Chain A
Amino acid sequence: MKRIHTLAAAALFSFAAAAPSFAADAVKIGMITTLSGGGASLGIDIRDGFELALKQKGGKLGGVATELNIVDDARKVENAKQIATRMIKQDDVDVVTGIVWSNLAMAVVPSVTRAGKIYISPNAGPSALAGKNCHANYFNVAWQNDNLHEAMGQYVNDKGFKNVYLMAPNYPAGKDALAGFKRFYKGNVSAEVYTKLGQVDYAAEIANLRAAKPDAVFFFLPGGMGVNFVKQYAQSGMSKAVPLFGPAFSFDEGILKAVGAAAIGTFNTSQYSHDLDNATNKAFVAAFTQAYGRKPSLYASQGYDAAMLLDGAIAQVGGNVKDTDKFRAALKAADFASVRGAFKFGNNHHPVQDIFVREVVNDGEGVTNKLVGKVFSAHADAYAADCKM
């Protein structure tokens, strides 16, 4: 019995060892993302977007065979760190990507860039990586964390709201969110409420909110928290009296599917929307919907763009990604058609892009986001000036 085990293990090991050698000159990409537990839908969207791009390119980004290794971090910092170490030291990948959460990104990205590898962020954009501590090997293809909140601050301000109630989870990205909102919102802040991360019941907060009599609510509650809050807010009968505003993270396609009609009539800001009118996006939405049977969320678009960014840059250097200087310059040029339309990198390798506002509507097929306007054109983040690059 024991011998069989040993044999099986040996067979497994030799298979694992043999696998990479099939493609010696392939570009190796390591993807660390959240595929299980709470928040898995975000990582799955990113992965699906990335894989769709890879499939469309026949498994070759920039014309070079691409080996994509996807590992689940289960939203745990320790896991993400371990996986990153393995990818850098053992698998010797060329590019790392995939991380959803800012706290995980903070734990992983610096060690990746320090090891001389390229990191492409398809989501998390903590301020600490955008300013003084920006890095030549770090590129964020999504946004800097504050961006969408800033846009909503501007929008709520433009709409003439004077007394806004703010809510976010009590963790660093929550505080960044409210800071970003307040950077552009000039009216009175009715209250600034920090809820527990992963909180399920918001009855106490909603009762306080009603008593405070604000004229609007801005909330940043991604994933399941957003579902809980929006459902309970609708049940409390407050939706008509005090409108809800938030970043796209509080209203992504996954959340809307779970919330249903309760979210109709709310507004959110995003750098992407599935109804953006450009040819690249139309093709992407059609392909994504056909492949996965759901509309792409902003996370999916970011995964797709990450792959397309790499595709353009790898083609430009003729597959020679080991020449880091040239590869970096090619990435910085961002020579690819983003599904969001105009896209370029600022000096700190974060996007300079338009930010839109969307309304939640029922389009006949279901509850979804509809583009209603643009808040910022070619918006850069607030930390770029601190980055010496």
Chain B
Amino acid sequence: MTLVLFLEQTLNGLQQGVMLFLMAAGLTLVFGIMHLINLAHGSLYMVGAYVTASVTMASGNFAVGVVAGMAAAGVVGMAVELLALRRLYGRDHLDQVLATFGVILTFNELTKIIWGAQAMFLSTPEWLSGTVEIIPGAPYPAYRLFIIAIGLTVGLGLRHLIVNTRLGMLIRAGATTREMVGALGVDIDRLFTVVFGIGAMLAGLAGAMAGPMLAIEVGMGEKILILTFVVIIIGGIGSVRGALVGALLVGLVDTFGRAFLPLIMRAFFDPATADSVGASMSSMTIYVLMALVLIWRPRGLFQAYGG
């Protein structure tokens, strides 16, 4: 293992973490403030990816596609909140899981009816399709650097929103004691819809970013959803800062596990066995990480107050 490879894998881990953060930020807000387990968060990611691909294809401009994808995910998210999820806030978590699972199935079928069952095509925008040699000797895909930049910008933007704005104050207050916020005359229903919309837009952005890199297919949201839940559990439910730290941690640990465990195993086994043992072990690393974090801090790294 060389230093160059190590640095390259660190970038890969960061990039994966940033994608997870875009998903986790919305999910953790919804979970922390509304106490809603929303399995359908991945469906909004899928909506973002499909709309981005369609609009990019029609307009020939990726940026237009991304904006449309985010907007569509936001609108669809708020519509789902108003029509379906609103009724679930008072129910217990099992009901929420059942209902939002139903939402997943509905979205998957709708997507198949609208766009068909075959994966969709979205190419990398021309100006991001090359590689950049930021680590000498390891040309790195420009598109992945772009994702890291977008993710960190969104992270800073969210921090500003939550710390410095009135909406952010309400979000923090809502996460701590939502009854009190309601008693003070804030329209809590509207606050929930807005928060849900923000989360949905971030999921849509994640989907839009994923488009040029991943298969845009029915069910793509469920694959990332499980990791996203791991992230918010590690980070502490309801904490956006926790979501960022958790996402980067999961991204790095997962990448390093996949990259280096098979190499490490080669010191102990013959190559074929080492590759197969390494592969099996690397699929466990993030769950081991989650278990360790929960032993150390049962409520996650950063817990939102109250909760």
Binding site for B on A (CB under 8 A): 35-38, 40-41, 44, 170, 175, 189, 191-196, 198, 200-201, 203-205, 207-208, 210-211, 223-225, 227-228, 231-232, 235-237, 254-255, 257-262, 294
Contacts and interface: CB of A to CB of B under 8 A. Distances in A.
B108 interface: yes
A204 B213 CA distance: 14
Interface stretch (B177-185, B218-226, B240-248, B289-297): B218-226
B119 A227 contact: yes
B224 A257 contact: no
Contacts of B81: none
Nearest to A293: B116
B61 interface: no
Contact of A236 (B15, B108, B131): B131
Given A201-B214, A228-B215, A41 B139 contact: no
B95 interface: no
B5 A208 contact: yes
B99 interface: no
B223 A200 contact: yes
Contacts of B120: 258
B16 interface: yes
Contacts of B262: 191, 193
A194 B217 contact: no
B279 interface: yes
B164 interface: no
Contacts of A223: 119, 215, 217
B213 A41 contact: no
Nearest to A231: B213
B57 to A, nearest CB: 11
B118 A41 contact: yes
Interface string B233-267: 00000000000000000000001101100110000
Contacts, number: 137
Nearest to A297: B118
B280 interface: yes
A208 B216 contact: no
Given A41-B117, A235-B129, A258-B118, A36 B109 contact: yes
A347 B127 CA distance: 56
Contacts of B109: 36
Contacts of A191: 262, 271, 275
A203 B219 contact: no
B119 A255 contact: yes
B107 interface: no
Contacts of B144: 203, 235
A170 B258 CA distance: 12
Interface residues of B, number: 52
12 contacts: A36-B108, A36-B112, A37-B108, A170-B279, A170-B283, A193-B275, A204-B13, A204-B259, A207-B138, A208-B5, A211-B2, A224-B214
B131 A204 contact: no
Contacts of B165: none
Interface string B1-25: 0101100110011011000000000
A254 B280 contact: no
B119 A258 contact: yes
B217 A211 contact: no
B15 A203 contact: yes
Nearest to A38: B219
Contacts of A208: 5, 259, 263
Contact of B118 (A37, A200, A204, A257): A257
B229 interface: no
B153 interface: no
Contacts of B16: 201, 203
B223 A257 contact: no
Contacts of B223: 38, 198, 200
B212 interface: yes
Nearest to B257: A204
A194 B276 contact: yes
Interface string B186-219: 0000000000000000000000001011111111
A211 B5 contact: yes
Contacts of B112: 36, 40
